């Protein structure tokens, strides 16, 4: 099986093109190939597939074998892959996802290669039961959740996949490993949850660290950055556009008041190509 190793701000993926549909053993392959000691090593396995609704379809298997509904860093990688490999010549494309539907992407091209991608991530889902959480409120803002005797306050947002955003004094040095896995599987979140820990430094800049559902700590999370911006607006902490600073770098996120859509702009990189036995 031929693959391309790619990353968006260090959130890395094994990208596969050429399959007609998602292989039946995709879950097992993800566990095998994403292992950083016995496999290629990645946060997820991404398939670029044909679509009847868009130019391409993206399916993402997390490193634990579960499927992610959407991934903001992966979709930028897919956009770069299809353009840089000559699968499209257009700088505006559409990609179908299973959780967020068809998304529009604007490519910035330099020297014949994609340097950055602006993604229309669609409207955020704020209804608590739809995110989903077990909280029957719309929106779910500054809601308590208790873990091991410690209370956190979270805001719930779905960007095609579920997120809870928690504000802390120092997100950069926050102990992700201690609290991320416990919050991910908390009973308040029936389909588990991506957990963002955020510190607002200015109206246009937020530090964020993430514990991703099915992958653990990652260097970046595009949908998480979008959820963090939406949460920060709902909590009166930022303007409707801001730079979200992740461990792997910065994403620029906008929540457009005119259409209620969230827009994410950031880079994607090709690391290397290879062949692996399935």
User: Which residues belong to the annotated binding site for substrate?
Assistant: 11, 62, 72-73, 161, 194, 212-213, 222-223
**Which of 51, 30, 34 is closest to 42 using CA atoms?**
34
Nearest-angstrom CA–CA distance, 196 and 121: 18
Nearest-angstrom CA–CA distance, 87 and 239: 37
21 C-beta neighbours (distance < 10 Å), count: 11
- DSSP code at position 238: S
Q: Is 34 a catalytic residue?
A: no
Q: Which residues are annotated as a binding site?
A: 11, 62, 72-73, 161, 194, 212-213, 222-223
| Contact call for residues 195 and 183 (beta carbons, < 8 A) | yes
> What is the number of residues in the chain?
278
Distances (CA, A) of 186 to 189, 197, 199, 223, 263: 6, 16, 22, 20, 29
Q: Is 164 a catalytic residue?
A: no
Q: Choose the catalytic residue: 71, 77, 164, 226.
A: 71
Q: Choose the catalytic residue: 34, 164, 221, 226.
A: 221
- Which residues participate in catalysis according to the annotation? 71, 221
């Amino acid at each position: 099986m031929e693959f391309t190793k790619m990353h968006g701000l260090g959130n890395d993926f094994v990208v596969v093109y050429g399959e007609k549909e998602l292989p039946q053993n995709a879950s097992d392959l993800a566990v095998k190939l994403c292992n950083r000691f016995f496999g290629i090593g990645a946060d997820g396995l991404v398939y670029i597939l044909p679509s009847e609704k868009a130019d391409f379809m993206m399916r993402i298997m997390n490193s634990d074998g579960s499927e992610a509904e959407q991934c903001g860093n992966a979709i930028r990688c897919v956009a770069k892959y299809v353009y840089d490999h000559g699968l499209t010549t257009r700088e505006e494309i559409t990609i179908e996802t299973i959780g967020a539907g068809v998304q529009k992407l604007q490519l910035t091209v330099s020297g014949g290669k994609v340097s950055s991608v602006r993604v229309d991530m669609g409207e955020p889902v704020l209804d608590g039961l739809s995110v989903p959480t077990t909280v029957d409120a719309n929106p779910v803002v500054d809601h308590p959740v208790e873990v091991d005797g410690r209370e956190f306050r979270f805001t719930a947002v779905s960007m095609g996949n579920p997120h809870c955003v928690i504000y802390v004094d120092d997100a950069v040095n926050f102990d992700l490993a201690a609290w991320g896995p416990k919050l991910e599987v908390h009973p308040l979140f029936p389909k588990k949850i991506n957990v963002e820990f955020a510190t607002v430094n200015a109206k246009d800049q937020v530090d964020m660290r993430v514990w991703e559902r099915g992958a653990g700590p990652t260097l970046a999370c595009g949908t998480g950055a979008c959820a963090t911006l939406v949460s920060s607006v709902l909590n009166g902490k930022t303007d409707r556009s801001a730079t979200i600073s992740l461990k792997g770098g910065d994403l620029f996120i906008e929540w457009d008041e005119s259409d209620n859509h969230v827009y994410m702009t950031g880079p994607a990189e090709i690391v290397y190509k290879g062949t692996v036995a399935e």
